[in-house]
Amino acid sequence: MSWDVVVIGAGPAGLAAALQAGEFGLSVLVLDEQPAPGGQRFRAIEAFEQRCLVNQAHLSNEDNHGATLTRAFRRSDITCLSQASVWDVSPGGRQISYLHQGRSYSIRPKAIIVATGAIERPTPIPGWTLPGVMTAGAAQILLRTSGRIPEGRIVLLGCGPLLLLAAQQLRDAGANVVALLQTTSLADFARASLHLPSAMWAPKLLLDGLKLFARTASNRTVSSVRGVKILGENQVRSVEYVAGSQSETFDCDVVLLHFGLIPNIQIPRLAGAELKWDDELKFWQPVTDDWQESSIENLMIAGDSGGILGAEAAEISGKLAVLKIARRLDAISESTLEKIGRNLQRERHRYAMARAFMDAIYRPPLDRFLPIADTVVCRCEEVTAKMIEAGVANGADGTRRLKARVRAGMGPCRGQMCSMATAAILSKKLGIGAGDIELATVRPPIRPLTIGQLAENALED
Amino acid sequence: MRGESDTCSRTFDVLIIGGGVVGFSIGYGLLQRGVSVAILDGTDRDFSATRGNFGMVSVSNKGFNNIPYFRLSLASRNLWPSLADEVHDRSGINPHFEGRGKVYLSMGEQELADRVSHIQEFLLRAGDEYHQEILSKDDLDHLLGHVGLGDRVVGGAFSRLDGSVEPLQFYSGLFRAYLSQGGHYFSSQIVRKIVSKNASFSVQTPSDTFSAPKVVIASGLGTPPLASQIGLRLNVRPERGQIMVTERIERVFNYPISGFLRQNVEGTIMIGSSSEYNGFDDHTSVGVLTGLAKGAVERLPLLRFVQINRCWAALRPRTDDGYPIYQESQQRPGAFVVSCHSGITLAALHARLLPRWILDDVKDNLLQPFGTGRLQDECAT
Amino acid sequence: MSAQRESIEIFRTVPLCFQGDMITAKEGEPVAAAILATHPDFTGKSPVSGRRRSPYCMMGLCFECLMEIDGIPNQRACVASVRMNMTVRKQIGTRSFSAGSK
């Protein structure tokens, strides 16, 4: 059979989209890479809720909502394949290939909703490949999925609300957070205040952000940090940084990095959807219309993979993404489309306004964190900034030529960790705006796949 | 990158339009003659067979129906070791040329029988220069390093004529060696017009004009419209080839396997390569890739558990009869077209034999059969 | 790695064989989490440089936690969940052909 809709990702956007599509009577398949629905925001939420219950611990309102959403999804008759990883979407978005329980399948649904969320912006800094360095999000996932916290003295480094949230959660869980090094400066706050009036439309998000600041300010916090180096031979030993005119060193065992979120656009890129560069936020995002449809017909982008607006907005865009599909398949009337759609669009807009404030505070400090010298940029192929610069000097004046010259992005992560930083170096060296540097082509398979699995791929006609 | 500042001279002895492996091989060869050379390259977005190819220096499967093509390929293969050494010395980048031969695997008795008669016929046509010998399955397995051949492999052959190279490293090395020898390179130059005047050509791009008494068009799929400007009509069609490459694993087989498999020095295994005519579409397709994977597993079952790192497609520039074209314009002497889909195999020949043709008007006998005349003749008949 | 301050642990603990040693893991947790908790030094070595690596993103993106799980190489240990009696091995440098080809 051919599915009406395949939803990729079971985070807030994917779950909301699947439930909405189910309500309209569409046949829906959800492909999710995690063992249980919830996405990263509500990772392992069912188990977490149970743990909180047993321990009589308080479940936050957000988590409560996530648990409710997940429960509704579980109770629905929607087919969900967990631990299914999508390794290809064909150009034009007609065919999805995925791996599930060791077998590969290619299917051709009538429409696709990409709800693959966000990733933490990979920011190469000296020493970031050392054991002991993880992302702040990774630490949150450990906490969530197994109730474990990294052993030893922890330094958090970077910027963005999630960094503060992670610091808070880790400390609450009993972790030994010795320092919070923020790249954010006072100037960022000043700039952000310009966005306050529009941010007031979503006071909850705003308030959460400010509360976080207040709570973490009491910690050993340093602002306007730059010149960061993670030191150690086989393991993290210390972090060196510059703040003001002072250079300081913190001894530590674990460094958690976080430089904000960027949309996970691997699948739209594979499919060939049009992207746009956001020069304020310094990332690429898919071009979508008011109904979350990308430049490719019936390829919808919902949630943070279409632009970082957070979990609540993700649910709205997830529902929104279904409407045009349902209309095209004649599952809803034009007036239903308009009625539901316009409401959702208004709500979505409110979140976008509030987001501008947060974004302005946490502008990625990319100019101060452009990798240089021996800093590893491509972790898989161990390509340093110097090697990339040499490649540019040897005639590589674009990402494709550069990849062929220095192998950056040719490893198993398919450039997910290095493509942004590589493009940034190229941009600097060539004196071209980052938005004018096309990212290197994404090559399938974007998830692990063996030759044997491909050889036995089950191809649906 | 514009390559060079706007203040430098735009007049050279030879202009080469096309910065792929063909253009750079010719450019590098020309520099050895002490002339000034400029390569005008397209953009990073252009189709590039150079970036997509498999890295075989193929001889033993070339020219069964066209022995001059076999001789051309063999001549190039024999020139390869010295070119590889030179490029290595002058660039510091090792292109890893290996000329130890390649293996053919036959699937089923019929394929093996066909190979036996194919080799006999090839020997008759090409004479003693040709080499390919039938080997038993055991011998092949031994030769390949006891990798364990699949059940359907019944035997095969070995030819010492073939070789392989790391195509990306070769190109990087060639590029650097070319620059170090004083070659000029201009990127993102989309050639609009080639004008001849007073025994000199001026080549116009939206931003610049370059001039030289000699012009070589080596623009792959972009060749036909440029060639027509110097009075040469020819077709170059895109032939899509899909390839996949695996994770790095320890060296497992010692020889490339014809048509399918090759292990790079860093340990990745390349699996290729398909052939389709699909216009200018350079995307991969799961169906074709599945076929490649099946073929690989059938031949070397151990590959079943190896991770695929990357799949890609590239477009081979294919002439009407599949053979190379070396043609000087009769209307505009001094303007040349070079077009082939075997830019790696023929790289050494291009570097060593084309300069005499371009600079001294002496076309080597090996090149004689590969003018456009043959294509017109074919059309006439 | 230590356990979160929590009075009652609801995870069922199961044995897991890591590098030939038996360790205790929590059923359902990411394999990478179990390994990090008991062997925080490193989980593998880069096939390019041989340098030590350990899990970085924990969400399946960075491929730094590739390990051999139940005889199958190149598994992302951060997206694999712990089950009863798993066998996990580090991948050290360039993989040899025989590993996992059973």
Share of chain B above pLDDT 70, in %: 96
A138: nearest CB among C26, C58, C79: C58
Over the stretch B231-258, which tens digit does the pLDDT of each residue have?
999 999 999 999 999 999 998 888 999 9
Mapped onto helix, strand or coil, the DSSP state of residue B369 is helix
pLDDT for res A127: 97
Q: Chain C: nearest CA to B284, how far in angstroms?
A: 22
Q: How confident is the model at residue B8 (pLDDT cuts 50, 70, 90)?
A: very low
Count of alpha carbons within 13 Å of C16, Cβ hemisphere only? Answer: 30
Q: How confident is the model at residue B325 (pLDDT cuts 50, 70, 90)?
A: very high
pLDDT for res A367: 78
A391 backbone dihedrals φ, ψ, rounded to 5°:
-60, -40
pLDDT for res B163: 96
Nearest to B313 by CA among B207, B253, B249, B238: B238
pLDDT for res A108: 97
Distance CA A395, CA A407 (A): 14
How many contacts does A have with B, using Cβ atoms within 8 A?
106
C5: nearest CB among A85, A174, A381: A174
Q: State ipTM.
A: 0.93
A450: nearest CB among B172, B188, B307: B307
pLDDT for res A368: 81
Q: Chain A residues with CB inside 8 Å of B44's CB?
A: 397-401, 438
Distance CA A201, CA A322 (A): 26
Nearest to B23 by CA among B55, B3, B49: B49
pLDDT for res B198: 84
Closest B-chain CA to C63: B309
Distance CA B62, CA B76 (A): 12
Q: Chain B residues with CB inside 8 Å of A461's CB?
A: none
The vertex-A163 CA angle with A433 and A195, nearest 5°, equals 60
Nearest to A323 by CA among A304, A300, A305: A300
Evaluate if residue A213 carries a pLDDT over 50: yes
Asked if the Cβ–Cβ distance from C73 to B248 is below 8 Å, we say no
pLDDT for res A210: 55
Tokens of A363: 């502008």
Average pLDDT rounded to a whole number, residues B22-26: 98
| Residue in the block written with tokens 């497609």 | B313
A399–chain B Cβ distance below 8 A for any pair: yes
Nearest to B75 by CA among B33, B126, B34, B7: B126
**Angstrom distances, CA of residue B181 to CA of A11, B34, B35, B184:** 57, 9, 10, 9
Over the stretch A313-368, which tens digit does the pLDDT of each residue have?
999 999 999 999 999 999 999 999 999 999 999 999 988 887 777 777 667 777 78
Instruction: Tell me the residue type at A36.
Output: A
Over the stretch B120-156, which tens digit does the pLDDT of each residue have?
999 999 999 999 999 999 999 999 999 999 999 999 9
The separation between CA A331 and the C-alpha centre of its own chain, rounded to angstroms, equals: 32
Q: Chain B residues with CB inside 8 Å of A404's CB?
A: 51, 168, 171-172
Full set of structural domains in chain B with CATH: 14-53+168-235+321-374 (3.50.50.60), 102-159 (no CATH), 236-319 (3.30.9.10)
Tokens of C47: 């096939």
- DSSP per-residue letters across A366-384: GGGG---TT-EEETTTTEE
| Residue in the block written with tokens 């364990």 | B148
Q: Chain C residues with CB inside 8 Å of B266's CB?
A: 48
Q: What does chain B come to in residues?
A: 381
pTM of the model: 0.93
pLDDT for res A208: 60
Evaluate if residue A30 carries a pLDDT over 50: yes
Full set of structural domains in chain C with CATH: 3-92 (3.10.20.440)
Query: Of the ranges A113-127, B8-22, B306-320, which one carries the lowest mean pLDDT score?
Result: B8-22
Share of chain A above pLDDT 70, in %: 92
Distance CA A443, CA A88 (A): 9
Q: Chain A residues with CB inside 8 Å of C2's CB?
A: 148-149, 151, 174
Q: How confident is the model at residue A101 (pLDDT cuts 50, 70, 90)?
A: very high
For chain B, helix, strand, coil in percent to 5 are 35, 25, 40
Distance CA A184, CA A356 (A): 16
Which residue of B147, B250, B251, B253 to mutate against C (max C Cβ within 10 Å)?
B250
C4: nearest CB among A147, A411, A412: A147
pLDDT for res C1: 59
Q: In what order do the strands lie in the sheet with A238-243?
A: A225-231, A238-243, A246-251
Distance CA C80, CA A98 (A): 16
The separation between CA A233 and the C-alpha centre of its own chain, rounded to angstroms, equals: 30
Q: Chain A: nearest CA to C9, how far in angstroms?
A: 8
| Residue in the block written with tokens 């980052």 | A434
- H/E element holding A228? strand A225-231
Q: Is B367 exposed, middle or buried (0-12, 13-18, 19+ CB in 10 A)?
A: buried
| Residue in the block written with tokens 């067979």 | B49
Which residue of B305, B309, B310 to mutate against C (max C Cβ within 10 Å)?
B305
Over the stretch B31-78, which tens digit does the pLDDT of each residue have?
999 999 999 999 999 999 988 889 999 999 999 999 999 999 999 999
The vertex-C82 CA angle with C76 and C83, nearest 5°, equals 130
pLDDT for res A187: 65
Instruction: Tell me the residue type at A288.
Output: T
Q: How many CB atoms lie within 10 A of CB A400?
A: 19
CA-based Rg of chain C, rounded to a whole angstrom?
A: 14
> Do residues C49 and A381 touch, judged by C-beta distance below 8 A?
no
Asked if the Cβ–Cβ distance from B45 to A430 is below 8 Å, we say no
Asked if the Cβ–Cβ distance from C47 to B252 is below 8 Å, we say no
Instruction: Tell me the residue type at C4.
Output: Q
Distance CA B153, CA A360 (A): 64
Nearest to B327 by CA among B318, B337, B335: B337
Asked if the Cβ–Cβ distance from C74 to B252 is below 8 Å, we say no
How many contacts does B have with C, using Cβ atoms within 8 A?
29
The separation between CA A207 and the C-alpha centre of its own chain, rounded to angstroms, equals: 23
Q: Chain C: nearest CA to A335, how far in angstroms?
A: 41
- DSSP per-residue letters across C30-76: BHHHHHHHH--S-SEE-TTT--EE---SSSSSS-TTEEEETTEEEEE
Query: Of the ranges A116-120, A162-166, A236-240, A337-341, which one carries the lowest mean pLDDT score?
Result: A162-166
User: Residue B11 has what DSSP assignment?
Assistant: B
Which residues, at least 6 apart from B76, have a Cβ–Cβ distance to it below 8 Å?
Answer: B57, B345, B346, B347, B348, B349, B350
pLDDT for res B1: 42
Asked if the Cβ–Cβ distance from B311 to A444 is below 8 Å, we say yes
pLDDT for res B197: 87
Distance CA C46, CA A188 (A): 38
Distance CA B29, CA B348 (A): 9
Residue B184 pairs with which residues in a beta bridge?
B38
Evaluate if residue A202 carries a pLDDT over 80: no
Distance CA A309, CA C59 (A): 20
A445 cis-preceded (ω within 30 degrees of 0)? yes
Q: Chain B residues with CB inside 8 Å of C100's CB?
A: 305
Share of chain A above pLDDT 90, in %: 73
Nearest to A271 by CA among A292, A249, A286, A259: A286
Residues of chain C with pLDDT under 70: 1-9, 98-102
pLDDT for res B378: 47
Over the stretch A284-302, which tens digit does the pLDDT of each residue have?
999 999 999 999 999 999 9
> Do residues C58 and A138 touch, judged by C-beta distance below 8 A?
yes
Query: Of the ranges A39-48, A200-209, A283-292, A302-311, which one carries the lowest mean pLDDT score?
Result: A200-209
Which of the other chains make 3 or more beta carbon contacts under 8 angstroms with chain A? B, C
pLDDT for res A57: 83
Distance CA A219, CA A31 (A): 41
| Start-to-end C-alpha separation, chain B | 48
Which residues, at least 6 apart from B138, have a Cβ–Cβ distance to it below 8 Å?
Answer: none
Distance CA B239, CA B223 (A): 15
Share of chain B above pLDDT 90, in %: 90
> Do residues A108 and A94 touch, judged by C-beta distance below 8 A?
yes
Which of the other chains make 3 or more beta carbon contacts under 8 angstroms with chain C? A, B
How many contacts does A have with C, using Cβ atoms within 8 A?
146
The separation between CA A69 and the C-alpha centre of its own chain, rounded to angstroms, equals: 20
Q: Which of residues 259-278 of B touch C (CB under 8 A)?
A: 266-267
Nearest to B270 by CA among B316, B309, B304, B240: B309
A119–chain C Cβ distance below 8 A for any pair: yes
Tokens of B229: 């400007």
pLDDT for res A83: 94
Instruction: Tell me the residue type at A444.
Output: P
pLDDT for res C100: 41
Distance CA B359, CA B212 (A): 12
Q: Chain A: nearest CA to C10, how far in angstroms?
A: 6
